Chain A
Amino acid sequence: MPVSRLCHLLVLLFVLLAALTACDRAAPPLPVIRIGHAPHDHHAALYLAASLPGYFRDNGGVYLKEIVPKAEYELIDHSVSVARLLISSEKGGIKLVRKLDEEQLDLSYGGLPAMLSLIDQGSRLRILVPTMGEGAGFVVANHLPVADWDSFLALARSRPEPLKIGYKIGTSVQNIILEAALRESGVPYSRDETTAGARVVLVNLHGTENLLPALENNLIDGFVVNQPLVAMAVSKGAGKLLANLRDLPPAGRWAGIPCCALAGNETFVGRHSHEVETLTTLLMRANEYISAHPDESAALVAAWLGVPVAVEKLSIPTIRYSNVFDDQWHRGLDQWVETMVENGELNGQVRQAWQAGSLDDVIYSRLTEKLRRPAQ
């Protein structure tokens, strides 16, 4: 046999093997997106997206098809399955972000300060889109003779014993705002009750679940927490709303302050950009739905969280749901960074980037770069 014919035969054999190999491959399984959330209405967009498949199918074509309620869904884009969605719930935002950092989750809602803190420490998580702002309050014991921030300050200054204000976790939006407000108000505070001169002692109750018991049993005089615990505490009569944190001093600083965002592991996002983008689009639409339909959203969120609708009806109006990288977002982000830098909570790449004026390059995902451009 001529050698040239043998070569042709070998090439043909390779092509056939390649074709057979390609044919032998089964259809690739749907990519799995593990998304985390905390069981509160800051992350209500996920609940609405999961609860309104028909609506979102008819409006935009991207929706979630339920497989296991609150746990597993199929992301469908115009009748085409895009990904399988696994929903994980954690008690605190820091844990979500931590899991996201530890790649136990692919996407997660979470508090912006926690995200900045981990990014600062070198995490691969990156912010995809804003979710909401505000949505936190200062609840005090009913018996405490205060009605607003000023009276609180007056009481703190006047009472012999420092006021004990609880918070749910070491670093949270709420205690940052509170501490900033206390500093702004000139009231000494400390996380150590033995600190002399401190008029406000900030007590870490190591969990949201400890806040109400501590308040009810007078272990603390009040607490700062996110919704809907504020609404729940109020509606339950365990305390009274001293102020929404957006109203704390300095005045106007915390109005519209970003709270939670949707972040993702950048490695995963880069690897599954289409699926993440599709899901992000859906969640953004769901976020917009909340703003457009607060009552319906309250009912759906209440049903998802297992809380009274009234609580959500009190809670949701206090939350500013927004997906837009607007000025408020950027301003609020700067405030967070500034505050955390001041608090000594950022010492890594975020701080360096912030100081270098290149914060966006460090904290945002490339996937949503086009969403940020109009605002830039």
Chain B
Amino acid sequence: MTTALRTHELGKRYGRSRHWALKDCTLELPAGRVVGLVGPNGAGKSTLLGLAAGMLVPTVGHIEVLGEGPSSGAEHQARVGYVSQDAPTYRGMSVADHLRIGSHLNPRWDDVLVRDRIDRLGIDLRRRTGSLSGGQRAQIALTVAIGKRPELLILDEPVAALDPLARREFMQDLMEAVAEQDLTVVLSSHLVSDLERACDYLVVLVDSEVRVAGDLDDLLASHRRMTGARRPSDAGPAGHHVVTASHTDRQSTFVVRTGGPAVDPSWDVTPLGLEDLVLAYLRGDASYERPRPTVEVIR
């Protein structure tokens, strides 16, 4: 399995700010996947994606995109597609102008693919993008990014500003593109539900740090909610890694990453949906249960 994005102890501070927008980020995202980057607003998702797209320069650490440092020349830029938050377009220019920009500035531009997509979207080529709906603008930005035939497509909150129908259409289009092309996608959202069906790899980012990363099915298979009689401490069931713990006077509930199949019969064990799993990590206290992300990469 090749790696699309590899970071090592990557950190970013903006200007002279003391706040780390991203810190100690060590990740390895496999190629050919649709990677979902989840976290609350301000968790550092845009920073990580900006670093990957070569828009930002790391403060510390190392980042490698498709085997090269980001922004290592036009040829490398041709391999990475990027749509920034809110999908900026030239509002005074027509849709056709945007396609022309794409074809002029990208050697691998696929005009047939692009015309096809625009036809299907039913957007008039002569319209200025300023007069389009947010969903249509996002589609144009996606089309330009896909038209350059990238190997890695980075989408920063692509559906955040869209209504449910536009969201659905955008994701349908994206998934079709993934099916058609040999494409790795990394997309971020603060909503798990946006990513649930689309992603097969998940990265959870909280407070500028990676909380968990891994194959979606592996994550679902390895996490359980365990309920049992009140335990004295937050130290959960032996052999399991506690993500969150909560207690009432009678009962203790743990969300754990299981160490193995053997389970004490005194626990009621239930599987965890993706949303609950992510919520557990968002809620979890990083001080004692922060997993090393590399541990999560199961092959």
Real binding pair:
no
A positions within 8 Å CB-CB of B: none
